[in-house]
Structure 1
Amino acid sequence: MKYVLFIGSRVGFEALNLLVIENCDIHHVFIEKEHEHEYEKYYQRSIEKCKGLSINYSVNSIQSEIIDNLTQSLNDGHSINYIMSFGYRRIIPGSVVKMANIAAFGTHFSPLPRYRGFAPLNWVLINGETETAVNIFYLDKEVDNGDIVDKENVPISYDDDINTLFEKCIVTFRKVMRRIIPKLEKGKFDALIQDNEKATYTCARNPEDGLIKWEWNSTKIYNLTRALTYPFPGAFSFIDGRKIFIWSCEEYETPKYEGRIAGKVVKVVKEIGVVVLCGEGAVLIKDVQLENGERQTADNLIKSIRVTLG
């Protein structure tokens, strides 16, 4: 079988590696660069992998270039059995999807049909979900709504952050891919139709969406922090007018406060952090960083219980 890949980020690089390991015939790879604000960039690794194996590739191709490239391949007598999109953030045009003479597939890390769209792993953590999933599904004209050809659930623990959850999903993704590739090579696989009546969607996230509102309860603040920790832009607040990023925190039990000020520091824990009151409950803020500053424990930066964040 011949494959055309559309890849981006870590997920795309992992997919490319797996297909190479399984000796799949990769006809062309369209590679998308990460955005400049993203700390980790995998596109260069994908380029090096293609170069080392003499696999044809293109980087950041516009739609017309993709169509021209694949049309020329078909005119030259090259068949395209599968088109696969992994970590690629643009919708594959329908005219391209139709060039696959068997099927076109993508992946999404969410409990489909819920959480279709942007940043699903960040959102499931923000919302306190206890499970997500790795899905391989047919590409369709609507986002993330194609029939599912393979799926495996991934548990989310209370202690997971975006990094540990992503690694769980990567391990599961490898497992699912190894399971499905032999079926693809034989051209024999089943699919499950998604229940569109149960579908939900997510918004794209911007760095400014990480603002903490201390009137929230402690669980909501904890979930936001663990969902946006490095290498993501981070949950943040302000101290004396300066932006402070909060990279880690945990919920913290305090005495009952009848005189409660949300965002008020009520305890300094030496070499660990500071305890801050929320609208309900409290959090122990641990690793922090002033904008353009160095990462440090919060007690090194905040030394007084007269400080209020916000």
Structure 2
Amino acid sequence: MRIALLAGGDFAAACLHRLVADRHAIICVVPSWQRSSDLVRAAGNLGIPVRPPHDSRLEDVLRDDTPELLVSVDYDRILPASTLTIPTVAAINAHPGLLPTYRGTGVVMWAIQNGEPRLGLTVHHMDVGIDSGDIIVQRVLAIEPDEDYGHILALIGAELSDLLAEAVRLIEQRADSRSPQDPRLATYFAERHPCDDRIDWSRSSVEIVNQVRALTIPGTGARTWLGDGELIVWAARQRLDAPSYRCTPGLVVGRTSSGPIVKTGDSTIVVERVQHIGGAPADSPSWRIGTLLGLDPLEAITALRCRVSELEERIRKLERG
């Protein structure tokens, strides 16, 4: 089939290579605004034209290319109806989420952070909504409790390209079925904000460990404060035999051979790998017992008020000459 591919993110290049291997004619690639370097490089190596996503004439260019199929993979723009009607056969999207739940962006991270035991992959027809079109094919993958973001991305990379290839084959053979999504089951996930990546030490141990494994490499990392500096926590694990008790969340209360023991909202976890902003990752941080992680709001407000008072006094001195 003649395919125009609009894509970006972690799975775009793998999907492109699979479509080419299946002998489809990729007439052009439109990279997303972000995280598209692998896709652009792959398209260049294959001699496939790359159309800039910011071209005001993109719809005209796509019409001139006369695609039968418009394929979206982690594309970061909502396509208008005028674009969706360009292909002569269909416009479809390969989505790394279990629809109708996990619509939106960053859903792999959110699924891990939410402690989901499984992850869904979906290829669906596109409409003017967000991941709301009829489902063509779907696959469910188990998520093990010790698997982190990097492991799951590697698994999805192969599975999603296979699922996309299956959907395209069904469409080509006019054998694809359309399963409408139940809007009552729909949930939507928006782009992550910095506050979503900050560790709230008053949460349960399992919630904090899930957040860390959801954001670890190649993600941005779970963040916390140590003193007045920011810290990334790349790896942490639960202590399955840890007692439940109340104490200051974020307090270092012990040590193991693999790292310090930190109090959470219900028990404790072991922090195994961290990185100071601007520094190198370090295994088994050597924090002393009694070290407090996280930001105390009252302490931060007090420090800010003191700083403001100091600045006001300096201004008064300057005004007095």
The question of a shared fold, defined as TM-score above 0.5 by the shorter chain, is answered with yes
Following the alignment from structure 2 to structure 1, what is the Cα–Cα distance between the partners of residues 244 and 181?
Answer: 48
Question: Are 1:250 and 2:237 matched, yes or no?
Answer: yes
The 5-angstrom pairing of residues 139-150 of structure 1 reads 139-150=126-137
Q: Who is 1:230 aligned against?
A: 217
With over 3 angstroms needed to count, the CA separation of the structure-2 counterparts of 1:242 and 1:66, relative to structure 1, is same
Q: 1:61 aligns with which of 46, 54, 58?
A: 54
Which of 138, 150, 156 is residue 125 of structure 2 equivalent to? Answer: 138
Pairs aligned (count): 294
Give the superposition deviation at 1:243. 0.9
What per-residue deviation string (whole Å, max 9, x for no partner) do you get for residues 130-156 of structure 1?
111110001111100100101110111
Counterpart in the other structure of 1:294? 280
TM-score if structure 2 supplies the norm length? 0.86
1:309 aligns with 2:293: yes
Partner-residue secondary structure (3-state), 2:136: strand
- The C-alpha deviation readout for 1:65-102, integer Å capped at 9, x for no partner, is 2112123x1xxxx5321101012111122111101111
Q: Secondary structure at the match of 1:175?
A: helix
**1:258–1:11 distance in 2 versus 1, CA, 3 Å:** closer
> What TM-score do you get using the length of structure 1 for normalisation?
0.89
1:216: which partner in 2?
A: 203
Gaps of 5+ in 2: 295-321
Contact 2:18–2:162 (Cα < 8 Å) also in 1: no
Q: CA RMSD in A?
A: 1.8
Deviations for 1:167-208, whole angstroms, at most 9, x for unmatched residues?
Answer: 222222133133233223323311211111111111210234
- Runs of 4+ in structure 1 off by over 6 angstroms are none
Aligned AA for 1:25?
A
| Cα distance per residue 1:234-255 (max 9 Å; x no partner) | 1111111211110000011466
Q: 2:227 aligns with which of 240, 262, 275?
A: 240
Aligned to 2:314: none
Assess if the C-alpha contact under 8 Å between 2:242 and 2:267 holds in 1. no
Q: Choose 1 or 2 for highest CA Rg.
A: 2
Kept in 2, the 8 Å contact 1:254–1:282? The answer is: no
What's the CA shift for 1:123?
0.8
Amino acid at match of 1:298: S
- Give, in whole Å, the separation in 2 of the partners of 1:170 and 1:99: 28
The answer on 1:277 being equivalent to 2:263 is yes
The percentage of counterpart residues that share the same residue type is 25
For structure 1, which runs of at least 5 residues remain unmatched after alignment? 35-40
**How big is each residue's C-alpha offset from its partner over 1:15-55, in whole Å with a ceiling of 9 and x where there is no partner?**
11111111101122111242xxxxxx5x3333333333332
Residue number in structure 1 paired with 2:26: 26
- 1:1-310 matches, cutoff 5 A: 1-34=1-34, 41=35, 43-62=36-55, 64-71=56-63, 73=64, 79-253=66-240, 256=243, 260-270=247-257, 272-300=258-286, 302=287, 304-310=288-294
